[in-house]
Amino acid sequence: MADAATKLKDLTPSAVHSAYDLIKPYVHRTPLLTCKTIDKIASTPQSPEALVGTPFEGHTPAQPKFRFFFKCENYQRIGAFKARGAFHGLIRLIEELGEEEVKKRGVITHSSGNHAQALALAASTLNVPAYIVMPEISTPSKVSGTRSHGAEVIFSGSTSTEREAVVADVQAKTGALMIPPYDDFNIICGQGTTGLELEGQYIETVREKPHLSIHQGSEPKTLDAVITPVGGGGLNAGVTTYFSDKPTRVFGAEPSFEGADDCRRGLEAGERITTVKSLTIADGLRTPVGVLNWMVISDKNKAGGVFAVTEEQIKAAMRLVLERMKVVVEPSAVVGLAVCLFNEEFRRLVESEAKDGWDMGIVFSGGNTTVEKIGMFFS
């Protein structure tokens, strides 16, 4: 814990800038998109029927005003933001131990798919052997994507405990060096570069097209708010770190199915929840939030809170993005949009705190799904 506290002090916006300088040659500057139709839908009150069975049943539905700016990490290398953290983690490891040592021992991680593919790509690019522990229930396309970069895939059970046990066994045999999927200083800084790019692109976009902002007529400075998915919490902690010296508020979004909203529940209880066993369709969010990430996300001076949505709400948000934006996303990617569309607690917060509304960044975290999976969701 003392080590985590020390690292927490070093998690600063300047650390994110330093990470960006290192990884820029290896990652894409992903697009920032807008969609007037989705802005309009989100800025319309939900029907009273939608609130039946919730604490807001019988209340007048909220009418927040949104202008969304979608950061499309589904167009990142390997189809997800995870490439940022993987490259940063591996580059820093080589700096620390030397290229010869890292190449001799190789690297290892555990992941349901996106970090798996990301580390496999980074290792292949920098000529380092990679061992990737993946749950047996991982999406086949993510498994094949990981193998396509030359990594050795070893299967495990689906819980983080089961994954970590297999990692320990492989490390004992190979000496491979661990690059964690989310609970790590360098991973967090790498993922935080998503927020750095997002802010810069927002300012460029609104300067060129002022009508896209809810604050027309004023000089664009920064976003009012950003929302990202929360699984292990690396992306949210990184983006929160980047915006920690700015007025932008950063929120998290989780699926509620089978207790996958561990971060939200932990914030409510006042302590981190250490285990999650959920088969939510948002398969990238089935892990408990990491220790260092929790320290960032639970800091009310930095983070705005975490909100949860149902499986049906995730599907509805995914359908909107597919049909209205023509953008392919995986379920994990749209939980933030689903919160803005359907979570009445969050919508009331925006309505009460922002009379004119918010320019809001939404991170589409990845697009690693298949036509077959999409068909199953909407059959």
Same domain, 69 and 86: no
Does residue 1 surpass a pLDDT of 60? no
Q: Which of 43, 71, 111, 112 is catalytic?
A: 112
pTM of the model: 0.94
Q: Does residue 74 or residue 113 have the better pLDDT? A: 74
Gap between the Cα atoms of 286 and 147, Å rounded: 22
Q: Could you tell me the residue range of the domain that residue 36 belongs to? A: 1-79+184-377
Final residue before a domain boundary, out of 178, 209, 227:
178
Same domain, 342 and 248: yes
Q: Which helix (H) or strand (E) segment is 107 a member of?
A: strand 107-110
Final residue before a domain boundary, out of 161, 178, 195:
178
Q: Which of 71, 82, 142, 302 is catalytic?
A: 82
Query: Which CATH number fits the domain that encloses residue 167?
Result: 3.40.50.1100
Same domain, 119 and 75: no
Same domain, 66 and 210: yes
Residue 25: the pLDDT is 97
Active site residue 173: no
Does residue 72 surpass a pLDDT of 70? yes
Active site residue 82: yes
Q: How many domains does the chain have?
A: 2
Q: Please give the torsion angle defined by the CA atoms of residues 103, 108, 113 and 118, in that order, rounded to the nearest 10 degrees.
A: -30
Residue 213: the pLDDT is 96
Average pLDDT, the chain: 94
Q: Residue 284 — pLDDT band, cuts 50, 70, 90?
A: confident
Mean pLDDT of 115-139: 93
To which residue do tokens 């009508």 refer?
Answer: 211
Same domain, 286 and 211: yes
Final residue before a domain boundary, out of 178, 196, 224:
178
Is-contact 68 334, C-beta < 8 A?
Answer: no
Residue 140: the pLDDT is 84
To which residue do tokens 């004992």 refer?
Answer: 172
Mean pLDDT of 184-189: 96
CB-based contacts of 173, cutoff 8 Å, min separation 6: none
Two tokens at 141? 């396309």
